[in-house]
Amino acid sequence: MSFDLNTEQRAFRDVMRGFVDEKVAPHAAQHDRDQTFPQESFDACVAMELPSLQVPEAYGGAGADMVTQAIMAEELARGCASTSVTMLISKLGMLPVMNFASEEIKQSYLPRIASGEIQASYCLSEADAGSDVASMRCRAVRDGDDYVLNGSKYWITNAGVSDTYTVFATTDPSARTHGITCFLVEKEWGVEFANHEDKMGLRASPTGEVIFHDVRVPATHRIGNEGEGFLIAMHTLDRSRPTIGAQAIGIAQAAVDYAGQYMKGRKAFGKPIAELQGLRFMLADMAIRTEAARALVYRACATIDAGDPDGALSYLGAAAKSFASDTAMSVTTDAVQLLGGYGFTKDFPVERFMRDAKITQIYEGTNQIQRVVIANTCSSRSSWENPLSTLASFAISSLLHPYLIPTSSLLRDRWATWRPFVNDNQASGRSAPSRVETN
């Protein structure tokens, strides 16, 4: 099994590179400095119909495969990590709807997410219940045909910007994980928001506390049955973590590209520093780690597309997310080092890359939690085959069998929107930054 991109995916990647360079990257530094929402970048993504990639065709989306969605996340993050997570958060918020909600709820919300009319957020973490989800205190009490929500959620991406909030609250505190229930809550139902956090990275993506004070939620907006919330949350994170890995790869690739270009122009000891072997080896190691992380992310995404036939997704998603985010942190730190004192200033983007990379090791499950998942899988042989033998088989088969990820027919229809960017790039002679390819 190999993870070379098929023709459509390569074309889409090339379109995304030109689009990001023109419409997204130019705004990244300013929004980072001002800590403001990248509205023009989001609007450009909507004009490109990118939100539709993450929604099934039956609900007005393009129904793109997960590898294509990972390409989108990576290329957006290469230009602006905040814009990347702004696109990803609505998918995260809607995954419980796609997989567990009633048909009425799906028909009501998913088409509007696909069109970019509304955005969604995912409300799981609390001030004292991050990794320890069972300790959540947000309560939902049944009252006739409604549930009444009280409590708050912390570290919520797009707090105050999103129109809907997928909220996990306890309906039976004594049951811990078995007492958690999931709800879809509209902002207009009385949801309140505290001030946004002043963050180190992803500063253009608003993060804040979401507060529920006697917020009434119709029972029709309960997702799944009472007590199924924890399983829904874990099912969702398994399917979203690989795209956080893709975001991390985009940040790392941006650092590799920028450092490589900088080294060709910066001179020391009478020659470009790109000719100094020690620094060339640093850059090579950065590229190697980034490419390895990309392959692992594609592996996890392909497993989602295949329906997780071996029950390996939890392991692969955790491995992809943790390895890619650790890689991004390492690669961006090395990029700062390669630029020396200039890398430590805000006049150059590598310090922003490093700040943005850090959160990928923390959100959607810290890398320590990912290692717990991985270790549990490695110590258990009953759920699926030995992960080491699986990875060995993957390494061998990648040399023998080409594997093309299917892309929906509706995705091809998006060329009417994307084609002008291809033509503009060809006409101007603009090319994407060089990078290592998976062949």
Sites in the chain below the pLDDT cut of 70: 1-3, 381-439
User: What per-residue confidence (pLDDT) applies to 381?
Assistant: 54
Q: What is the DSSP string of 297-359?
A: HHHHHHHHHTT-TTS-HHHHHHHHHHHHHHHHHHHHHHHHHHHGGGGGSTTSTHHHHHHHHHH
User: What per-residue confidence (pLDDT) applies to 376?
Assistant: 93
Name the nearest CA neighbour of 438 among 3, 84, 1: 3
Catalytic residue among 226, 364, 385, 437: 364
Active-site residue, 364 included: yes
Task: Using DSSP, state whether 125 is helix, strand or coil.
Answer: coil
Amino acid at 364: E
Residue bearing tokens 């960017």: 421
Beta bridge partners of 196: 208
Q: What is the pTM of this model?
A: 0.86
